[in-house]
Amino acid sequence: MNKKIISLLMGAAMLTASVPAMATTEGIVQGDIMLISAEPVVEENTYEGTVSAIEESLVTIAIDGMDVTFALAEGVELGEIATGDTVKITSPSSLKTKDIKTAASIEKVEEAVAGPSYFRHVGTVSAVAEGSVDVAIGDMVVTFATTDTTAIYTIDGEEAEAVKEGDMVIVASRSPLASRDIKEAEAIVITNEESQTSIYVDTFAKSEEGLLSADGELVLAMENADEYDGKKLLVFYDFATMSIPAITNPVKVVVLEDVEAAEKVTISFNVGSSIVNINGEDVEVEKPYVVGEGVTLVPIRVISESFGAEVKWDGETKTVTVIDGETTIVVTVGSKTATVNGEEKELEEAPELTENGFTMIPLRFISENLGAEVGYVHETQAITVEK
């Protein structure tokens, strides 16, 4: 080799060794020479969600209403993590891609987010019964209790009458899958694998950024924020920022009825007793009694007002009008004909007026037309009315 070339190469090596190295995002700079790193720059994303399935080295996590499958990187172990646990995963993969993601690390989140947060569980309806829905989530079937206040919608934001077996659903519930309590469905959204829409359920309040969820995780950027301030919402959205809290412009917002506000009313008493128990409190009333062919008469005002209905009495016509929401019931003392929302109904026995001025009416008629259920134990003549 030419001695001049050898000399130049040795000089360059000595210069490189004597100049401090400076790190860049592309490689390492030493003086005027760029040394390209052999290792590519790896993006690190952090995701948090609920484990819905585990299969060997694959873990499926429900993240914002989507089931995402991660393959554990070499050396990464699950430890005591099980289905239903809330976990935090770091990954070089983006959720926007359709391939199986890589889990560079996975750890169990010991405590749920503080505040009235709602968990979102994704699965397929395996059975539907009165008052409950069974959902297959991963390798287990979870029963969710449903009530009149459970919101049922499609992922397009349209209200649905009911879910059916085979529907893919997102269930919003206060309970994580790992808990042992009865899980109540706050909302059920019928979805599909193609949909990119996510849902969120929580109570939202105005903040500087917009409407902030009670758990501090999501902000709704809305012009009409005052309309939803302090209310519990079912939120449909397509995209959210990766910030904390995330910010989104929702596609649709639905105000949910507060389950706690819809208090159940239970009335119990024995025929011939002047004591009626209403939600645990004893109230003295005109004694319920039996007439005709086993028809129990009860004071119409006590029963109706216990269910929150308004009762009006017309002394001239001896007519009682009961108003409960959109239901109006009109009965007349001595007449077996009554009207419910203008439609004539036949009573088993005519209402009677007692010496003390109480209008007594057939129990089953007034209860069932107010949407209540009547239970009767023949041996003890104990009666229970629930709404």
Question: pLDDT per residue over 255-311, tens digit each?
Answer: 986 544 446 788 998 888 889 888 888 888 888 998 888 899 999 998 999 888 999
Q: Are residues 279 and 344 in the same domain?
A: yes
Q: Are residues 300 and 377 in the same domain?
A: yes
Query: Residues 72-98, buried b or exposed e (16+ Cβ, 10 A)?
Result: beeebebeebebbbbbebbbebeeeee
Calculate the average pLDDT of the chain: 83
- Give the chain's domain count: 4
The more confident residue out of 319 and 27 is 319
Tell me if 115 sits within 8 A of 215, measured CB to CB. yes
DSSP 282-342: EEE-SPPEEETTTEEEEEHHHHHHHTT-EEEEETTTTEEEEEETTEEEEEETT-SEEEETT
Q: Are residues 103 and 124 in the same domain?
A: no
**Structure tokens given for 111:** 């405590």
Q: What is the pLDDT of residue 36?
A: 46
How, if at all, do strands 183-184 and 140-145 pair? parallel
The predicted-structure confidence for 86-106, as pLDDT tens digits, reads as follows 889 999 988 877 788 999 999
Q: Are residues 131 and 240 in the same domain?
A: yes
CA distance 197 to 238: 5
Q: Are residues 193 and 254 in the same domain?
A: yes
Q: Are residues 139 and 227 in the same domain?
A: yes
**Structure tokens given for 326:** 């959109």
CATH, residue 61: 2.40.50.320
CA distance 172 to 135: 12
25 lies in which domain range? 3-36
Instruction: Calculate the alpha carbon distances from 13 to 34, 36, 151, 298, 374 in Å.
Output: 13, 16, 72, 105, 96
How would residue 109 be classed by pLDDT, with cut points 50, 70 and 90? confident
- The residue written with tokens 């209402």 in the block is 351
Q: Are residues 282 and 325 in the same domain?
A: yes
Q: Is the pLDDT of residue 129 over 50?
A: yes
